[in-house]
Chain A
Amino acid sequence: MSLRETIPPLLVIPGVVYAAPVRSPYAHARIVGIGRAAAAAVPGVLAVLAAGDLGVLGERPFGTFLKDQRVLAGDKARYEGEPVAVVVAEDRPTAVRAARLVDVRYEPLPPVVDVERALLPTAPLVHDTPPPLGRQGRWRTVPATNICARVTLEQGSIEQGFREADVVLERTYTFPRVFHFTMEPHGAVASATPTELTVWTNTGHPYQLRQELADMFELDLARIRVVVPYVGGSFGGKSFPKLEPLAAVVSATVGRPVKVVNGVEGSMRTNRRHGARVTVKLGARRDGTLTAKQARVLLDGGAYADLGPVVAEKTGVRQLGPYRVPHYSIEVQNVYTTTTPAGAFRSIGGPQSVWATESIMDELAAALDMDPVELRLVNLVARGETVRAGLRPMDADLGDDLKRLVKAMDDGASPEATGRGVAVGISNPAELPISTAIVRLHYDGSVTILCSMVEVGQGLHTVLAQIVAEELGVPRAAILVVSPDTRFGPYDWSSGASRGVTIVGTAVQRAAQDIKAQLLALAAETAGVPAADAVWRDGRVQVGGRSLSPADVVRGWYGRPAGEVIGRGYVRNLGADPAFWEIGMGGVEIDVDRETGVIRLLSYTGLADVGRAINPQLCEQQDVGAVVMGLGHTLFEEMTYSDSGSLLSASMIEYRVPLTVDLPAALSAVLVENGDGAGPYGAKGMGEGGNLAVAPAIANAVARATGARLRDLPLTPERVWAALRAAGARTRA
């Protein structure tokens, strides 16, 4: 990276003060009173603020899909760790220390920790009144229940489908609540004046955040400035508003710039992935042809909606899997519980869905005595075939992809393997393909790219520069990509959903092509020839017998070393929704220590169908990175809550993420490049798909190695050990 930037925890703003949240120790409790005196008496403390001290800004709810959250809990706390007050001080240590002295009096309420119990008629309500829809909201809560969103998908008649089946299986699979664990926790600095608001933050969504803040502060979009430096990882955990509304409201209240930063423990109380409980019923004919699928999914959405309604919607489609299913009935409910709010996380609803859909495919293969790969090949949708009515027809050759995966596994087969498993994931990413880009060609030939998708470590800036270098014939080193600043940069919808190369890349490519078109017109005008006489060849403009570099054209038209040419690129759709199907397949070879239940990973092969790998190394690293992240929810990770709703695994000592020692001996990614994507040069998006297949592939391998079928993640040694004992007991019986 050629530009040094500072992450929010290190950002220094003159006059900044620090706000330390006071967090609820209860999962669910009415707030009876706030004792401020002891904290306020600490030297250096400027204010001790509860919701009631924030005026109308404390009452105004935010939320992009449902407006159900306030910057500080007012009447009651809805999860352990929810901010109920803040202490503002001249320095952070003072604020943190004084926050411990705030005496909040609570009246504990019964917690709602389990999704099934949350739906009982007797369950306490997390939200007593239905929240209003947010700006992008489509799904309403179900009044007088804890159902935050309910989504159904139907096709044909499942009764008929199950009648036509020779084999019907019904199984329940569970997926844990897991944490993003970005290397950089959330952090924001806000400076509010009556007419303008500036926020420096490590968000992934500067423009979604701008709208939320504009609504809260009743300011025009032009008066909200969101500045985003390089971000130390997001994985969705920094999507939509997080700490920014709190920083902004406190700044408006105390009249100083305010910084709020999380530690890891605070970020574990800010956002996580939806846990899931999936009951799926699958029918097939004796030859393996699927006839019907029914799925009932409960998503554990935590205390606030965040992206939950969209997660439910995407989960519905992702439950279908990549297969031809004539009759289906899918119901997904996102459920409020008194736990950390769940939101976006690398393929929303994807790993939860594929865990169920690809586990039951292997269970079906076993029931039919079929090879699991063969069963999949029989049912995979073909190129051009409908996955779901109204969505883009399948734009990949899934059968060929699966055969390539198996071939790659065969070529590198480990002699020590006692089990092997595969899984096939697809998802409909690239949510709302709306993006804009500005490319500035300077008179020395260098280029500035302004786009507002955030570089969170995925390598977006590298690829955007490659695209512009390709289009304009400018050296890669002469191109600078600027991080988002909504005061100067162009609009972009979001940083997520594998949309960077396809959508933002198209906007940037169009901006570069706009520059090319302008250069031809300007060169012709300068030479005094008709526009059609200027042509583009090999990165140069050929006009009137001369060959001009882009910089020559700029200087020639302005008549001196001055000026620039500004290209613009707009994207509002790429033909159909989704812009592409993201394909993530995986195959694994394992051995199991039957005495301890430890799964030893011998090899993992990922496959990503990327259309065109503009930067193959980045694509491989994205896919492998997603696999490693998937190993977390597969083998180790779980946010464990006590019955009273306390987060037990609330530090990196107790919350186990994958380590280098956990990596398979062989870990590789196959990139399929058919040039068939809607993005630049036939590229499709990728980066999320790699984690789809990990859990079911490994559980399928365990089942083949041992006969024990595990349906609850993570596959800890103890769970595997218990399943082996149960399978052994059944065999003996």
Chain B
Amino acid sequence: MLPPFEIHQPATPAEAVALRARHGESAALYAGGSELLLAMKEGLGAVEHLIDVKTIGGLDTLALASDGAALVIGATVTHRALERSPLLRSRFPMLADMERQVANVRVRAVGTLGGNLCFAEPHSDPPTALLVHEARVVLHGGAGPRRLALADFLVGPYESALGPDEILTHVEIPLPPPRAAAAYLKFGLRERPTVGVAALLVPDVARVAVAEARVAVGCVGPVAARLPEVERALSGLPLAALEAGWPSAETSGERLDAVGDLHGSAEYKRAMAGVFVKRALAQAARRARAAA
């Protein structure tokens, strides 16, 4: 049962920022509400003011930047809109595929990408997938906008680098390098995944070997993270070997900062990270070769 609250509907980021400053910890930013309203119904926190960012102009953007170098996703764009976006499907097919797998259709219909990143639920799909795309977030505060790499924005479980006087307005995703192919795989029994793995491979011109590899694992630890050692080890490997299943991938989760919980023990999560890194690399390698 929802407690009583006052809803504020700012028209600009500056108004939203001012509302945050005025109401402090009794206020919460409200986009889709798929996490926030659940918490409020459970009686968690003491939220008395909802700052509805959906009324802010321009936050529903879903388009390429004017210079064509990045995709810009406004903070209030829903998972459902992303899943169905022709632009995402053609330019970032892995992200569209990932969005299609987020929670369930009711959550996707109202939940937003911006809200998801700000809530920083550790068992979540989008951060993992966005990390291999080297996404940035655009934050708007009293001192104006600033850009932050997603890796720096994600601080810990339910904790982001969003300042108390800031709102997230956009997510920017650079266009991937030519020939890049990616895959996102999730695994788990419950509503939220036990492990999520994203792999992005940039093949050489001949599409034979790996020129650049990006691998990220989420849900296993407190925060989704890239695996730089695995990425280095992949450099130069033949795509065909990855497609057949790269045995070394199986140990790639061993050094993860895994947290045991209802979704699995730390040991199992590390092992599954390895299995799904292998499978995601195989899928990405297949796509990278097939794109010729």
- Give A residues with C-beta under 8 Å from B: 92-93, 96-97, 100, 595-596, 636, 640, 648-649, 653-654, 656, 716-718, 721-722
Contacts and interface: CB of A to CB of B under 8 A. Distances in A.
A97 B3 contact: yes
Contacts of B271: 721
26 contacts: A93-B1, A93-B2, A96-B1, A97-B1, A97-B3, A97-B4, A100-B43, A595-B275, A596-B187, A596-B272, A596-B275, A640-B262, A648-B262, A653-B190, A653-B191, A654-B190, A654-B191, A654-B262, A656-B189, A656-B191, A716-B189, A718-B264, A718-B265, A718-B268, A721-B268, A722-B268
B226 interface: no
Contacts of A96: 1
Nearest to A595: B275
A651 to B, nearest CB: 8
A163 B264 CA distance: 44
B189 A717 contact: yes
Contacts of A653: 190-192
Nearest to B268: A718
Contacts of A92: 1
B100 to A, nearest CB: 14
Interface in B251-292: 262, 264-265, 268, 271-272, 275
A640 B262 CA distance: 8
Contacts, number: 33
Nearest to A100: B43
Contact of A656 (B190, B264, B272, B275): B190
A721 B272 CA distance: 10
A449 to B, nearest CB: 39
Interface in B173-210: 187, 189-192
A653 B1 CA distance: 17
A623 B199 CA distance: 44
Nearest to A722: B268
A92 B264 CA distance: 38
Top 4 nearest A-B pairs (CB, nearest first) are: A96-B1, A718-B268, A653-B191, A595-B275
Contacts of A93: 1-2
Contacts of B262: 640, 648-649, 654
Nearest to B2: A93
Interface of B: 1-4, 43, 187, 189-192, 262, 264-265, 268, 271-272, 275
Contacts of A100: 43
Contacts of A721: 268, 271
B189 A636 contact: yes
A92 B1 CA distance: 9
Nearest to A718: B268
A656 B189 CA distance: 7
Given A596-B187, A653-B191, 13 more contacts: A92-B1, A97-B3, A97-B4, A100-B43, A596-B272, A640-B262, A648-B262, A649-B262, A653-B192, A654-B191, A716-B189, A717-B189, A718-B264
Nearest to A597: B268
Contacts of B191: 653-654, 656
A42 to B, nearest CB: 11
Nearest to A92: B1
**Which of B4, B43, B189 has the largest number of chain A CB atoms within 10 A?**
B189
A722 B272 CA distance: 12
A721 B271 CA distance: 10
A664 B179 CA distance: 39
Nearest to B104: A659
B270 to A, nearest CB: 12
Contacts of B190: 653-654, 656
Contacts of A640: 262
B265 to A, nearest CB: 7
Nearest to B191: A653
A654 B38 CA distance: 13
B65 to A, nearest CB: 36
Nearest to B274: A595
**Which of A97, A648, A653, A718 has the largest number of chain B CB atoms within 10 A?**
A718
**Which of A93, A596, A656, A716 has the largest number of chain B CB atoms within 10 A?**
A596
A668 B191 CA distance: 28
A685 to B, nearest CB: 34
A91 to B, nearest CB: 10
A320 B268 CA distance: 37
B275 to A, nearest CB: 5
A368 to B, nearest CB: 34
B223 to A, nearest CB: 20
Contacts of B43: 100
Contacts of B264: 718
A653 B124 CA distance: 13
Contacts of B3: 97
A656 B194 CA distance: 13
A227 B271 CA distance: 55
B253 to A, nearest CB: 12
Contacts of A97: 1, 3-4
Nearest to B192: A653
A646 B165 CA distance: 37
A413 B264 CA distance: 33
Contacts of A716: 189
Contacts of A656: 189-191
B197 to A, nearest CB: 12
Nearest to A653: B191
Nearest to A721: B268
Contacts of B187: 596
A252 B104 CA distance: 44
A359 B91 CA distance: 52
B204 to A, nearest CB: 29
Contacts of B192: 653
A718 B195 CA distance: 13
Nearest to B43: A100
Contacts of B1: 92-93, 96-97
A595 B277 CA distance: 12
Contacts of A718: 264-265, 268
Contacts of A595: 275
Nearest to A96: B1
A462 B268 CA distance: 49
B8 to A, nearest CB: 21
A716 B189 CA distance: 8
Nearest to A716: B189
Contacts of A717: 189
B80 to A, nearest CB: 19
A638 B289 CA distance: 44
A477 to B, nearest CB: 38
Contacts of B275: 595-596
Contacts of A636: 189
A595 B278 CA distance: 11
A716 B265 CA distance: 12
Nearest to B278: A595
B106 to A, nearest CB: 12
A716 B187 CA distance: 13
Contacts of A649: 262
B122 to A, nearest CB: 14
A724 to B, nearest CB: 11
Contacts of B268: 718, 721-722
A100 to B, nearest CB: 5
A201 B43 CA distance: 27
A636 B2 CA distance: 30
B39 to A, nearest CB: 12
Nearest to A20: B1
Contacts of B2: 93
Nearest to A93: B1
B217 to A, nearest CB: 15
A102 to B, nearest CB: 12
